[in-house]
Copies of this chain bind each other. A is one copy, B any other.
Amino acid sequence: MENFIEQLTPTQKQELERQFAIYSNGVQEIVPIQELKNKIAKSIIQKTPLKVKLGLDPSAPDVHLGHTVVLNKLKQFQENGHIIQLIIGDFTGKIGDPTGKSVARKQLTDEEVKHNAETYFEQFGKVLDMEKVELYYNSKWLSTLNLEDIINLAASITVARLLERHDFSERLSTGKPISLHEFFYPLMQGYDSVELESDIELGGNDQHFNVLMGRHLQEHFNKEKQVVILLPLLEGLDGVEKMSKSKGNYIGVDEAPNEMYGKTMSIHDDLMGKYFDLVTNLSVEEKVQIKEDLENGILHPRDAKMLLGRTIVKMYHSADAAEQAEEHFKTVFQKGVLPTDIPEVIWNGEEQLSIIDLLVQLELQKSKGEARKMIQNGGVKLNGEKVDDVQLKVVVINEMIVQVGKRKFVKLIKG
């Protein structure tokens, strides 16, 4: 590729640096950095937008903040006039997993794929301007490939290279089966980039191998190679594992303002900087300022987290909703006052039982062991009074309020 950077005027050079600063902020890796700069330079000189690709799995359309890490990055490109290419991987979705072993890869009907794509579209609309997004279904080109095309595609890659993918090498060495067709998923994802002539592909850091495949195949087909931007994986509410629906440690973009705010307030202090970087739409300067102020003690972590909560609710609902969610939170949790919307449960159980049994029967705790721990940690209250004795016998009275942790309440109505 021609060197466009050295053809830039000083003003254009500034524009390159401005865009590059935005795109490179908060990312894990850019492969290769110099090519990204050159592509931006080309786009400035030729006044043509870059094509920025994101591939989507059609089977899991529930969007949470973990997904928005990459969406926010896409939005930055969109705000600078570049084209977003969203690819629904419907081809693989419709095949499913022919071995039937993977639950995640169950076979989808055309209707399911379409419905899931619409769900994506609706939820992505909370971040991106969907009118400007280009949407593709990869079955359009993948279903036209014949065996000869596929042999040619497969000839471009070695088995050793595929076995470099961490999960493949691990499975092979531990004797867990890899079906041959699994080798094709990265090839198919890569072929999408050939077809769409993408300039850039975004992905989570765990997609390293797959998104680089696009670069490899474009080269094989004599196309300009895409640049790969990998984004960090966002830890969920537990502060440990990647945010995911199955782990239950997520904040969904569709959640109600109070839930969204409350969950945000529960994240670990250590993760705040990362959340500001990856899931808010604040400017780079604002993010830097917040992190500095936190470090210098000018900003109290609790206040920073409340700003984070407001910012997130504002992004997915509105400024008003953000204020109300914050008020709600303050009332319930900070002032120790009971919320007004406590769920009521009709109690037809025993009149008298142990506090541990009560917590388990109300499903406020999963097991007796957990209930015992929660009491020992001082996390259980009856009508606002902390329970100290794990052996406590409770006499159930009407409208008794059982509280577990900061945010779980139940009002018992005697049936």
Write the residues of chain A forming the contact surface with B, with a CB cutoff of 8 angstroms: 91, 94-95, 97-99, 142-148, 150-160, 162-163, 168, 172, 175, 177-184, 187-188
Contact = CB atoms under 8 A, between A and B. Distances in A.
B155 A183 contact: no
A183 B181 CA distance: 11
Contacts of A158: 177-180
A183 B154 contact: yes
17 contacts: A95-B152, A146-B146, A147-B188, A150-B150, A154-B179, A154-B184, A157-B179, A158-B179, A159-B159, A159-B163, A159-B168, A159-B177, A159-B178, A159-B183, A160-B172, A160-B175, A180-B183
A23 to B, nearest CB: 33
Contacts of A156: 98, 179
Contact of A159 (B97, B144, B172): B172
A95 B145 contact: no
A37 to B, nearest CB: 33
B180 A95 contact: no
Contact of A157 (B94, B148, B180): B180
Contact of A154 (B142, B152, B155, B181): B181
A139 to B, nearest CB: 9
A145 B146 CA distance: 6
Given A91-B147, A157-B180, 12 more contacts: A94-B148, A98-B155, A146-B147, A150-B184, A154-B179, A154-B183, A155-B179, A155-B180, A156-B179, A158-B177, A180-B183, A180-B187
Residue of A142, A172, A181 with most chain B CB atoms under a 10 A cut-off? A181
B183 A151 contact: no
Given A142-B147, A178-B159, A152 B91 contact: no
A212 to B, nearest CB: 16
Interface of A is mostly: helix
B178 A160 contact: yes
Contacts of A163: 159, 172
A159 B99 CA distance: 14
A274 to B, nearest CB: 36
B147 A143 contact: yes
A98 B152 contact: yes
Contacts of A177: 158-160
A142 B146 CA distance: 9
8 smallest A-B Cβ distances: which pairs? Answer: A98-B155, A154-B181, A154-B180, A155-B181, A159-B178, A158-B177, A145-B147, A151-B181
A208 to B, nearest CB: 19
A206 to B, nearest CB: 20
Contacts of A144: 146
Nearest to A97: B155
A177 B188 CA distance: 21
Contacts of A157: 179-180
Nearest to A141: B147
Contacts of A181: 150-155
Nearest to A98: B155
A188 B150 CA distance: 13
Nearest to A101: B155
Nearest to A191: B147
A141 to B, nearest CB: 10
Contacts of A184: 147, 150-151, 154
Residue of A91, A168, A184 with most chain B CB atoms under a 10 A cut-off? A184
Given A143-B147, A146-B143, A180 B152 contact: no
